[in-house]
């Protein structure tokens, strides 16, 4: 199988590595110019996971860490398609998510936010896209949380996504936001993305995805490369 010729990244759709409003980026951004990968390495297929290792509940965050009941918070369904630069579905690729719980706290020792942990919610899941490039997660809507970047700084509700794609050149880590969140206008991470590309990170409410009497539905399509690529955002 021959490797496709990948178009150059649209760097104008991505946030800068160093953004003065996002203090952490100053500490971790590269201090020297990036080194382009050789063409044959950039386009190489990279099967870096085993789909057979996924469990039946890995994509259901309301059950994959349950110990003595249901997690607290608003249940939501998050689904969408993973597409390549030509709009074609990216099949059988790994999609991973991680997020805060409904109170805005992560299960991580570095998170010392004064909010309760949920013993029945881990906040992490994974799945593999189907033949149409579609993924689906059942989870809890994450809460906002303070993050100390500037006075009275709060992160909007968001879910982190990690996608491997089919090539080194299509690796993507990004975030999904929710429509109508007033914190988006105040968030330097979201605002650090060029204005023309910001809406690519905002999900769409979907009544068709909503499960009656159980969970609201949101759709979030992800493009791994090209002029409509979903912006990179860790």
Percentage of the chain lying above the pLDDT 70 cut? 86
Q: Taking 90 as the threshold, does the pLDDT of residue 114 lie above it?
A: yes
Q: What is the mean pLDDT of residues 147-159?
A: 96
Range of lowest pLDDT (4-13, 55-64, 131-140, 168-177): 4-13
Predicted local distance difference test score (pLDDT) of residue 168: 72
Is the pLDDT at 59 greater than 70, yes or no? yes
- The model's confidence at residue 164, banded by pLDDT at 50, 70 and 90, is confident
- The 3-state DSSP class for residue 204 equals strand
Q: What 3-state DSSP class applies to 51? A: helix
Give phi and psi for 40, each to the nearest 5. Answer: -70, -25
- What local confidence, expressed as pLDDT, does residue 117 receive? 97
Check residue 213 and report its DSSP letter: T
- pLDDT of 161 above 70: yes
For residue 171, the model assigns a pLDDT of: 87
Q: How many angstroms separate the first and last alpha carbons of the chain?
A: 32
In this predicted structure, the answer to whether residue 3 has a pLDDT above a threshold of 60 is no
Question: Is 222 within 8 Å of 80 (Cβ atoms)?
Answer: yes
Lowest mean pLDDT among 15-19, 139-143, 185-189: 15-19
Tell me what the pLDDT averaged over the chain comes to. 88
Catalytic residue list: 106, 145, 155, 158, 160
Question: Is residue 1 very low, low, confident or very high in pLDDT (cuts 50, 70, 90)?
Answer: very low
pLDDT score for 45:
54
pLDDT tens readout for residues 21-35: 777 777 777 777 777
At 177-210, the pLDDT tens digits run 999 999 999 999 999 999 999 999 999 999 999 9
pLDDT for 53 equals 78
Task: Report the CATH number of the 53-223 domain.
Answer: 2.60.130.10
The dihedral through the CA atoms of 84, 217, 126, 129 has a sign that is: negative
> How does residue 80 score in pLDDT terms, banded at 50, 70 and 90?
very high
- Identify which of 106, 126, 128, 124 has the alpha carbon closest to the alpha carbon of residue 115: 106
User: Please, are residues 44 and 168 in contact by the beta-carbon 8 Å criterion?
Assistant: yes
DSSP assignment of 150-164, as one string? STT-EEPSEEEEEE-
Task: Evaluate if residue 213 carries a pLDDT over 60.
Answer: yes
Task: Report in angstroms the alpha-carbon separations of 208 from 57, 77, 80, 203, 213.
Answer: 23, 11, 12, 14, 13
The domain limits of the chain are 53-223
Residue 26 confidence (pLDDT)? 72
Query: Judging by DSSP bridges, how do beta strands 216-219 and 75-83 pair with one another?
Result: parallel
For residue 43, pLDDT beyond 90: no
Report the pLDDT value the prediction gives residue 31, as an integer from 0 to 100.
73
């Amino acid at each position: 199988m021959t490797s496709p010729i990948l178009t150059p990244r649209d760097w104008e759709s991505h946030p800068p590595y160093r953004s003065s409003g996002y203090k952490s980026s100053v500490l971790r951004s590269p201090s020297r110019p990036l080194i382009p990968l050789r063409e044959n390495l950039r386009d190489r297929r990279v099967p870096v996971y085993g789909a057979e290792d996924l469990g039946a509940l890995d994509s259901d965050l309301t059950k994959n860490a349950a110990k003595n009941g249901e997690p607290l918070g608003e249940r939501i369904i998050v689904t969408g398609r993973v597409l390549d630069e030509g709009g074609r579905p990216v099949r059988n690729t790994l999609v991973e998510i991680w997020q805060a719980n409904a109170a805005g706290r992560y299960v991580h020792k570095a998170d010392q936010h004064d909010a309760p942990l949920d013993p029945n919610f881990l906040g992490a899941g994974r799945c593999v896209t189907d033949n149409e490039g579609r993924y689906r997660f059942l989870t809890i809507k994450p809460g906002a949380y303070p993050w100390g970047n500037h006075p009275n700084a709060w992160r909007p509700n968001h879910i982190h996504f990690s996608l491997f794609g089919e090539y080194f050149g299509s690796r993507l880590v990004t975030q999904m936001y929710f429509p109508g969140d007033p914190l988006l206008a105040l968030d330097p991470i979201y605002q650090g993305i060029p204005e023309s590309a910001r809406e690519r990170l905002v999900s769409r409410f979907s009544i068709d995805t909503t499960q009656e009497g159980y969970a609201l539905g949101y759709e979030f399509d992800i493009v791994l490369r090209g002029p409509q690529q979903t912006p990179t955002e860790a």
